[in-house]
Amino acid sequence: MQRLSWDDVRTRRLRRHGLVGVPTEATPAGVVRAMHGAHAQVMSAAELSIGLRLPGSTRTDVRHALWHDRSLTKTFGPRGTLHIVPSADLAVWTGALAAVPSRGSPFAPDVRLTAGQRTEVVAAVADALLGPPLTIEELDAAVVARTGPWAGDLVMPAFQVMWPRWRQAVGDAAAAGVLVFGPPRGRKVTYTRDPDLVPLPAEAALPAFLHGYLRAFGPASPAQFARWLNGPVDWAEEVFGRAGSEVEQVEVEGTTAWVAADEPEEAGSSACVRLLPYFDAFTVGFAPREVLFPGRAAERALARGQAGNYPVVVVDGVVVGVWHQRRAGRRVVVTVELLEDLPGSRRPELEGQAARVGEVLEAASTELVLGPVEVGPHA
């Protein structure tokens, strides 16, 4: 059995995520595949996540890949969160996510959709989105017209308002391959579908999906895979068990974990300074948390134990601070709050990262300020 240190793991993940070295596939889709999906809760942060890993690129390149050449797709991913995935991999993602057992509805019995109603809603969405992309309000009307008034009942609590009942099944429609995000219509989000998309059966999708996960986040355990998907641990153990020779065990400082069996050993150093934005896949998917967020970093850069709520400063695979960017016209000010001293010899790396943030955001100029970040999470 191969034995690894946590330094080995950090190096492996940094390289796999395109944060050290040259990307294996230097395209937006290739970068996103290496990350096993880019979180898109905040689109500007998703553009940064991808652009920072692709030398010379800007947010325009990411937008072009999403809305013009369609090599990337924005959809609902693990835990119902918004993700950007390679369009070529969408059949794997939808097939795998549809196979994750439900953890039950968080809504009251009189709010929930029945199994039959969910099936009706997914069919209605599939039919409605065969035409031009629709805004959510247009999709509301289309679903109600194809199902019944019950679908439009304003009973689903969301963001201090009530949404129509049918929206509980948006994730089901995405996993069924009949709903993805379309190009923005002004400031409005739209939804569309690829009529040719056929999700892979679970028996084919899950091994491919697990392989992508282990490439990005391995070594990992079934429990970590289950937590990342919000699925049951016993189900995840079965997925690992069925993978057979496609996965292999390693030992990380006394802990047993798994990697994809075809993974080559990662050579090289983990030395790097990186500014990672909100919800970057490297930080959100990194387990165990204490390896990436040691000591004060856990107190400062996590929100109730959750990663992604603060942009973070990563030095050699460890979080050592938080940062924030403020835009004024075409000028960007990057404020970095360090939790420990950064040697003067490494200041140029930090300056280079701040400049790169400005480049991706297409700013005319970028200023780096060292000092406290006074805004809260999601600011």
The one-letter code for the residue type at 268 is: G
What distance in Å separates the CA atoms of residue 349 and residue 63, rounded to the nearest whole number?
27
> Would you state the pLDDT for residue 268?
67
> Would you state the pLDDT for residue 269?
74
All structural domains of the chain with their residue ranges: 273-370
222-229 and 233-243 are packed helices; what angle lies between their axes, rounded to 10 degrees? 120
331, two tokens: 């000028």
Domain 273-370: state its class: alpha beta
> Would you state the pLDDT for residue 266?
61
What distance in Å separates the CA atoms of residue 36 and residue 93, rounded to the nearest whole number?
10
Contact 239, 225 (CB under 8 A): yes
The per-residue pLDDT for range 269-315, each reduced to its tens digit, is 788 999 999 999 999 999 999 999 999 999 999 988 889 999 999 99
> Would you state the pLDDT for residue 25?
82
> Would you state the pLDDT for residue 33?
97
The per-residue pLDDT for range 91-119, each reduced to its tens digit, is 999 999 999 998 778 888 899 999 999 99
Task: For residue 356, count other CB atoms closer than 10 A to its CB.
Answer: 19
In DSSP terms, which residues pair with 256 in a beta bridge? 251
What distance in Å separates the CA atoms of residue 190 and residue 138, rounded to the nearest whole number?
9
Residues 6+ apart with CB under 8 A from 122: 169, 172, 173, 176, 178
Q: Residues of the chain whose pLDDT is less than 70? A: 23, 263-268, 378-379
What distance in Å separates the CA atoms of residue 244 and residue 232, rounded to the nearest whole number?
20
